[in-house]
């Protein structure tokens, strides 16, 4: 995939428009309502939070994804519409109906996404007015505005776009995402919206998205909390003109590689923008027996508050890292485990090693740090987890979030 360094995001692919506005859902007056629209019906796929306490828009959007077709995404920040009972479901469905009416499409072709404070009812009068106002503003260059409108505690919008070739046709793909806190696998606290002009069947699109999410959004952690509203949605409208992908052929593989590139980039952006984070940490688990074992070890390290605070304090406390790996459930043998930070070996064969304290101190002071743990259990490819440190600002942000 050739990454294009522009802000075009979800409007990069043919036939897509987007926009974001301030609909007065947030007291701050910042943008809080986003709309993404395909000028023709599109194939849709989605993955959603596995939290048993899921928000109303998750249930509504699952129904749309199950049909295999969609044409628009309406998404708000400022209110999660979670734990709101039957009223919340009715409100989410009304968001779809009002959007559909304004766009002259079927309500079942509208995906609904929400993010914000849990337990509050949607301000439906403001929502309905916002939807009425937003549709006429749809733009071929509206992706940056849409990206800003879905943010909560993020410091910036996450976006990427690029091209790849399938069946001799140039295919475009782009995305926007938000995510900063309550980041944990299955899925992270996030909204991700992807658009492409590829022609592909629903089953193949769903297969590709599910597999790509497992290697990206399900491999990041900020604080170990799984949200109620998470979703990743992809729309593929077929305007690239390629022969429709209906099986796992070479064209499917090309598309999958491009999709994985997109979601891995966004996942890393989300982890790096963790609430209050000052350091982005890559955890490489080498020579696991399986993906599952590597993920268990990597996630235990990523989720450890002691590990995360050690990185914040720039303290190379390898005991905390090895401890987390040991209780991970990944069945490691410390006598066959090697740990390095920034390429400097600090633990081997069950014991700490002498190392250059000054050199490691410089690495710990960096904002981008790689931790590598070789567990010598098998020959599986490297398993990579992304996380960040845990800072004073994280406590401040979340202590004041509801107010």
CA separation for the pair 155, 181 (Å, rounded): 11
CATH number, residue 310: 3.10.20.340
The separation between CA 260 and the C-alpha centre of its own chain, rounded to angstroms, equals 12
pLDDT of residue 315: 87
* Count of domains observed in the chain: 2
pLDDT of residue 392: 79
Same-domain status, 175 and 296: no
CA separation for the pair 63, 55 (Å, rounded): 13
Give catalytic status of residue 337 as yes or no.
Answer: no
Same-domain status, 284 and 265: no
CATH number, residue 8: 3.60.70.12
CA separation for the pair 103, 85 (Å, rounded): 28
Strand locations in 27-117, DSSP E? 33-48, 69-79, 110-117
Same-domain status, 286 and 218: no
Domain with 288 in it = 280-399
Catalytic residue among 11, 189, 195, 254: 189
| 141-195 pLDDT per residue, tens | 999 999 999 998 788 889 999 999 999 999 999 999 998 654 444 444 589 999 9
Same-domain status, 312 and 335: yes
CA separation for the pair 270, 289 (Å, rounded): 28
Same-domain status, 374 and 350: yes
pLDDT in tens, the chain (403 residues): 899 878 899 999 999 999 999 999 998 899 999 999 999 999 999 999 877 888 999 999 999 999 999 999 999 999 999 999 999 999 999 999 999 999 999 999 999 999 988 899 999 999 999 999 999 999 999 999 999 999 987 888 899 999 999 999 999 999 999 986 544 444 445 899 999 999 999 999 999 999 999 999 989 886 544 568 889 999 999 999 999 999 999 999 999 999 999 999 999 998 888 766 789 999 999 999 999 999 999 999 999 989 999 999 998 889 999 999 999 988 899 999 999 999 999 999 999 999 998 999 999 999 999 999 999 999 999 999 999 888 877 777 666 644 4
pLDDT of residue 176: 97
Same-domain status, 297 and 389: yes
Same-domain status, 52 and 195: yes
Same-domain status, 233 and 376: no
Which stretch of DSSP H or E encloses residue 20? strand 16-21
- Of 243, 272, 301, which marks where a domain is finished? 272
Same-domain status, 188 and 333: no
CA separation for the pair 374, 121 (Å, rounded): 48
- Of 272, 296, 311, which marks where a domain is finished? 272
Going by C-alpha positions, the residue among 227, 230, 168 that lies closest to residue 199 is 168
DSSP 8-state secondary structure symbol assigned to residue 139: B
CA separation for the pair 402, 361 (Å, rounded): 37
3-class state of residue 38 by DSSP: strand
Same-domain status, 324 and 181: no
Same-domain status, 229 and 284: no
Measure Cα distances from 246 to 49, 199, 207, 210 in Å. Answer: 27, 9, 11, 16
- Residue 33: count other Cβ atoms within 10 Å of its Cβ: 28
- Of 256, 272, 288, which marks where a domain is finished? 272
Same-domain status, 264 and 289: no
């Amino acid at each position: 995939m050739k990454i294009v360094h522009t802000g075009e995001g979800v409007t990069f692919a043919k036939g897509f428009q987007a926009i974001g506005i301030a609909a007065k859902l947030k007291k701050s007056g910042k943008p809080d309502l986003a709309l993404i629209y395909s000028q023709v019906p599109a194939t849709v796929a989605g993955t959603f939070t596995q939290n048993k306490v899921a928000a109303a828009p998750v249930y509504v959007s699952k129904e749309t994804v199950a049909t295999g077709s969609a044409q628009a995404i309406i998404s708000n920040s400022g209110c999660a519409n979670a734990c709101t009972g039957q009223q919340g479901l009715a409100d989410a469905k009304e968001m779809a109906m009002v959007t559909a009416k304004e766009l002259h499409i079927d309500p079942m072709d509208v995906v609904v996404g929400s993010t914000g404070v849990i337990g509050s009812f949607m301000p439906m009068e403001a929502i309905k007015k916002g939807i009425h106002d937003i549709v006429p503003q749809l733009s071929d260059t509206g992706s940056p505005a849409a990206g800003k409108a879905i943010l909560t505690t993020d410091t910036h919008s996450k976006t990427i776009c690029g091209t790849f070739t399938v069946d001799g046709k140039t295919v475009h793909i782009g995305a926007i995402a938000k995510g900063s806190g309550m980041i944990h696998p299955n899925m992270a606290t996030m909204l991700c919206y992807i658009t492409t002009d590829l022609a592909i069947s629903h089953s193949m699109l769903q297969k590709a998205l599910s597999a790509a999410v497992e290697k990206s959004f399900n491999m990041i952690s900020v604080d170990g909390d799984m949200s109620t509203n998470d979703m990743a949605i992809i729309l593929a409208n077929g305007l690239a003109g390629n022969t429709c992908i209906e099986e796992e052929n070479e064209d499917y593989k090309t598309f999958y590689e491009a999709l994985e590139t997109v979601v891995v980039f966004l996942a890393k952006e989300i982890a790096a923008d963790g609430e209050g984070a000052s350091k982005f940490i890559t955890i490489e688990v080498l020579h696991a027996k399986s993906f599952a074992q590597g993920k268990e070890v990597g996630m235990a390290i990523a989720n450890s508050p002691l590990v995360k605070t050690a990185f914040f304090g720039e303290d190379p406390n390898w005991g905390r890292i090895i401890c987390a790996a040991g209780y991970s459930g990944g069945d490691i043998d410390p006598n066959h485990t090697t740990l390095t930070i920034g390429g400097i070996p600090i633990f081997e064969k069950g014991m700490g090693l002498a190392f250059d304290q000054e050199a490691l101190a410089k690495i710990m002071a960096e904002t981008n740090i790689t931790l590598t743990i070789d567990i010598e259990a098998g020959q599986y490819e490297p398993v990579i987890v992304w996380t960040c440190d845990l800072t004073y600002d994280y406590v401040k942000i979340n202590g004041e979030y509801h107010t």
